[in-house]
Amino acid sequence: MSWIKESNRPKHLLYAIPAGALLTILFVAGLAAGMEFKDKQWGGKWDWLDIAATLIGGLIGQVIQILVLILII
């Protein structure tokens, strides 16, 4: 799991948690693709590991959302 500590992947993971908690994992997938598209347009490269880090954060957020909904109901 050392790949998650490279580059700005911790930020991808952390910023995706609130998006996953407030919205859905599908929204987070769109965010991940959009961030990578932006990186590519600015001369970077498409990085699937950045997308994976974002989706992991979104999954954590989605689990938090489900747990909150279970507690409310």
Q: Which domain holds residue 24?
A: 2-72
Enumerate residues 6+ apart whose C-beta is below 8 A from 31. Answer: 16, 19, 54, 58
pLDDT given for residue 9 in this prediction: 87
Instruction: Please tell me the total count of domains within the chain.
Output: 1
Asked if pLDDT for residue 1 goes beyond 80, the answer is no
- Residue-wise pLDDT for 21-64, tens only, equals 999 999 999 999 999 999 889 988 888 999 999 999 999 999 99
**Which of residues 2 and 70 earns the better pLDDT score?**
70
User: Residue 8 — pLDDT band, cuts 50, 70, 90?
Assistant: confident
Residues 6+ positions from 62 with CB-CB distance below 8 Å? 20, 21, 24, 25, 28
